[in-house]
Amino acid sequence: RRRSGRWRTSRRPPAPVAPAAAAPVVPVAAPAPAAPSGGRVAASPLARKEAQAKGVDLSRIVGTGPGGRVTFDDVHHAPAQAGVAQAHASDYAISPEAAYLAAKLAHSAQTAPHYYLTMDIQVGKALSLLEELNAGESEKIGLGDLFVKAAANAAVAVPDVNASWLDGIVRQYQRVDINLVVGVGEGLRAPVLIGVENMSLKEVSEASVTAMEDESPYMAGTMTVQNLGAFGLSSAAPVVHTPQACCLALGAVVDSAALVDGKVVSTPKLAATLAADHRVVDGAVGAAWLAALRALVENPAKLLL
């Protein structure tokens, strides 16, 4: 009811409200590790059986059972990364030379500032020349042999690539010694051909055959060539074999369209990729060497001089 133009309100203060009793805090124990470092993992028999079936390392699973015991559910629901797969695996030994090369390439990849240059090279004239040279011969000269010879001659024309980085100095070599990467896996090897710039194509081919059969320990040359065309790869980005500064990788020969005398014709080509250590060979020098290589391969008669 309205009185004196105001709403009538009670002047009695509200009764105090007692605060709600706080809920008791129950401490929650953190999951205990499955076992102390170096000790036996506490796990149920079913958990062990499941871990063996899944190839899971029990020591990497936090157990939810009493005292941190690993249960079947812990193993069954463990994410894939919680374990290390052991099933269906096998180990094999590698040769001392393959182990040495693996360590050498790992060190090179971590310490040498690599860069890569790729150039397409027409090989039609080179293949025609090889067909003439191999006619009636029992031992054939391959396209890879021709590229090894061309790589050496190009290094003579651009000598800055035939060098090494040695603790703050660059050492340039007067002779071109080329390592050939052969084999795969445990049989990986890199025999060396000495003084390739002074060899004929036939001598390069013969030396390559002899080197591949040689079981002598690894000896570093001044640059490396690897031919991956047999695997059907269009190109590859190799690792430099330090202290060498350059490694050449060859891709497969493929047919390409080219304009010759105003007509589109099909010509064979391959991609040559140079991996270089930038401390020794900058981009301009690397490009000049690739251009010299291409000029020799596309005009292969020069390799016979």
Question: Which residues are catalytically annotated?
Answer: 278, 282
Do residues 303 and 153 lie in contact, with contact meaning Cβ atoms separated by under 8 Å? yes
Query: From CA 176, how far away is CA 73, in angstroms rounded?
Result: 65
In the numeric block, the tokens 């001598």 are attached to 203
Strand segments, DSSP code E, in the chain are 2-3, 6-7, 114-122, 163-166, 169-172, 178-180, 192-193, 223-227, 246-250, 254-260, 263-277
Expressed in percent and rounded to 5, the helix, strand and coil fractions of the chain are 35, 20, 45
Query: From CA 20, how far away is CA 8, in angstroms rounded?
Result: 32
Looking at residue 213, its amino acid is E
Query: From CA 280, how far away is CA 274, in angstroms rounded?
Result: 13
Beta strand 254-260 with 263-277 is antiparallel
Do residues 146 and 126 lie in contact, with contact meaning Cβ atoms separated by under 8 Å? yes
Alpha helices in 196-240 (DSSP H): 201-213
Q: How far is CA 272 from CA 38, 49, 140, in A?
A: 53, 54, 22
Query: From CA 44, how far away is CA 304, in angstroms rounded?
Result: 77
In the numeric block, the tokens 């050496």 are attached to 152
